Structure 1
Amino acid sequence: MTIQEIVDKILAYHPDIGDRRTCDVIVGADPNRECTGILISIAPTVPIIRKAIEIGANFIFVHEPTFFSGYDDECEWLEGNDVYEEKLALLVDNGITVYRDHDHIHAHRPDGIFHYMMKHLGWLEYLKPQARGWEVVLPPTRLGDLIAHVKERMGLEHIRYIGDPDAIVS
């Protein structure tokens, strides 16, 4: 199966968002090649690209942009920028294609990213029935307990916060 065929299947899964411009684009090598492996990441950082090279994956599926702007297909202004050119060359020279799935996954109701985060945090039951976004009503809890829960569920070592950890929040 080619990378483009995989992207087409992903797009077929998403709701139709019409002809509006999106930031969901393909960057790097030709997507009409056979897929040798898929690496999924939030962002296509250089370490992620190097990991794809190491494991032999030629398709990186991400949510955030490859370069410095929301639109990876408008990078003319970066021509001559060493960081941009080296990162693009790392992709092309190693036959790696990046597909950004941002606007389409956010078009789901509930939002695809939001739904996964709420599920991962164990908070689906706290979504308001009419919610179409970030409306979550948690039972009253200590801020410190909430922080500990998020750290554990998300695998984080640290979270910055402002407030009294003994304060009750909901």
Structure 2
Amino acid sequence: MKVEEIIRKLKTEYHADSYFGTKIDESRTRDKVLYGAIDKECTGIVVTCFASTRVIREAHKMGCNFIISHEAMFWNHGDHTDWLQENEVFQEKKKLLDIYDMTVWRDHDYIHAGIPLRDGTYADGIFYGFIKEMQWERYVIGDYRRSRTFAFPGITAKELAKQMVDKMKLNGTRIIGDPDTIVRKAAIPMHLIGDADNHELAHCEKDKIDCLLTMEMTDYTVQEYIRDSSYVGVPRAIIAIGHFNIEEMGMKYMSRWLPEVVGEIPVHFIQSGDAYQYIV
């Protein structure tokens, strides 16, 4: 099967509407071929969160010439490369892609829009995949197809953090607030990067969220609120996992259902890896 056939077939599998309920516009979607030719036979597929140079090398060793990456490859929104032509790191990465005849396609909007489930409905492939890989189905609050909120039977933030680090094969994580917070309700917020954080802060208060499992997080807004909450006797915590680390679980889950779509073509998951290292 050719790479272009796989991409076309995958798009028909996904839900037609975007994560926000609007039709995916092919002219504006982020889901583009980021590099390489598509009119060639696929020798194998690697799915990952970020197509780093390490992932590209590993994919080649596995005999794969097609990478499906959830995030951008060239370090900017839209993967624009015109401004990178003289950049040494870009040149080396491009050289690697050329030598290995590697094709990279970004799968962001489509997988978030919804993967098909056996009951005929669709679920956000990233966060549903996170739930499945973490084996948190019994903890989900609300619609499991879109939910990012969980009810736990009472576990400390420190214990929950250790479980996540082990399960997700991370180097560690940070805890903000009280690490001994008893977590009965946790949530994965959207990006905590500015004024829009007021919504997440209000969500914590209204829905009695004990713990946030964050992707991006600045040092102000919600982070400050969580600390002050603990200081006034209302224990709360943030487990700062990281964007790629959380969403990587959805791509790992993709490697489990993708063979049903592409048949006998080998499918592998390569963890792009925890970007954070810790010195304590």
Q: Same fold (TM over 0.5)?
A: yes
* Structure-2 residue corresponding to 1:10: 10
Aligned residues: 169
Pairing of 1:139-154 with structure 2 (within 5 A): 139-154=153-168
Q: Structure 2-normalised TM-score?
A: 0.56
Does the 8 Å CA contact 1:143/1:169 hold for their aligned counterparts? yes
Q: Which deviations, in whole Å up to 9, do the C-alpha atoms of 1:127-162 show, x marking residues without a partner?
A: 222473422233332112211221222122412112
State the 1:19 CA deviation.
4.5
Pairing of 1:1-170 with structure 2 (within 5 A): 1-17=1-17, 18-20=23-25, 21-72=28-79, 74-108=80-114, 109-130=122-143, 132-170=146-184
What is the alpha-carbon distance in structure 1 between the residues aligned to residue 82 and residue 36 of structure 2?
Answer: 17
Does the 8 Å CA contact 2:53/2:93 hold for their aligned counterparts? yes
State the 1:101 CA deviation.
0.6
Q: Which has the higher strand share?
A: 2
Structure 1 segments, 4+ long, off by >4 Å, are none
Q: Identity over the aligned pairs, expressed in percent?
A: 36
State the 1:23 CA deviation.
1.0
> SS of the residue aligned with 2:39?
coil
What is the alpha-carbon distance in structure 2 between the residues aligned to residue 52 and residue 119 of structure 1?
Answer: 25
What is the alpha-carbon distance in structure 1 between the residues aligned to residue 180 and residue 158 of structure 2?
Answer: 6
Q: Which deviations, in whole Å up to 9, do the C-alpha atoms of 1:11-44 show, x marking residues without a partner?
A: 1111113352211111222111001111222111
State the 1:164 CA deviation.
3.3
What is the alpha-carbon distance in structure 2 between the residues aligned to residue 129 and residue 49 of structure 1?
Answer: 38
Structure 1 vs Structure 2 CA RMSD? 1.9
Q: Which moved more, 1:88-97 or 1:158-167?
A: 158-167
Q: Structure 1-normalised TM-score?
A: 0.88
Does the 8 Å CA contact 2:157/2:179 hold for their aligned counterparts? yes
What is the alpha-carbon distance in structure 1 between the residues aligned to residue 5 and residue 78 of structure 2?
Answer: 22
What is the alpha-carbon distance in structure 2 between the residues aligned to residue 133 and residue 101 of structure 1?
Answer: 20
> SS of the residue aligned with 1:60?
strand
Change (3 A) 1:88 1:8: same
Does the 8 Å CA contact 2:141/2:147 hold for their aligned counterparts? no
What is the alpha-carbon distance in structure 1 between the residues aligned to residue 70 and residue 180 of structure 2?
Answer: 35
> SS of the residue aligned with 1:162?
strand
What is the alpha-carbon distance in structure 1 between the residues aligned to residue 171 and residue 99 of structure 2?
Answer: 36
Letter in 1 for 2:183: V
What is the alpha-carbon distance in structure 1 between the residues aligned to residue 176 and residue 55 of structure 2?
Answer: 32
What is the alpha-carbon distance in structure 2 between the residues aligned to residue 93 and residue 102 of structure 1?
Answer: 26
